Amino acid sequence: MAAFEDEIPSGKHDEYKRDYLTRLGLPLNQIVVLGNGRNERSWLKDVRDGGGLAIAVDAGEGCAIDALTNAHVFVVGIISTLDLLLDEKRLVGTLRTGRGPSGQWRARQDSNL
């Protein structure tokens, strides 16, 4: 699992985190990102739009509206977030989505939404 290896420049957190995804060299549809701050809005949006999974998480300090609007789902607590990731059926139920042929998360096209 990749992790941040260098210091994030002051005032550039949003850009750094977004650019970090490019440096990983992984397709965005294979990435899950978590965030709760305004400075995570870009990587949440890029992963969401790239077919990966973007999760806004309130870990006790709240969650910025920018994070919420750029995520697929909002979860309260990191334990609940990890539980959701461990059980794909729960995630599918929460999002009412499934994975498309390319592995991307996509909305179901049924009338039960």
Tell whether 37 is covered by a domain: yes
Question: Which of 12, 1, 54, 4 minimizes the C-alpha distance to 32?
Answer: 54
Tell whether 59 is covered by a domain: yes
pTM of the model: 0.75
Domain around 92: 28-96
Kindly give the residue spans of alpha helices, DSSP state H, lying in 1-113: 13-24, 41-49, 65-69, 78-86, 88-95
pLDDT digits (tens, 9 = 90+) for 58-80: 999 999 999 999 999 999 999 99
Question: Which of 100, 35, 31 minimizes the C-alpha distance to 73?
Answer: 35
Tell whether 46 is covered by a domain: yes
Tell whether 49 is covered by a domain: yes
Whole-number Å distance between alpha carbons of 105 and 98: 6
Overall domain count for the chain? 1
pLDDT digits (tens, 9 = 90+) for 5-32: 566 667 777 778 777 877 888 888 888 9
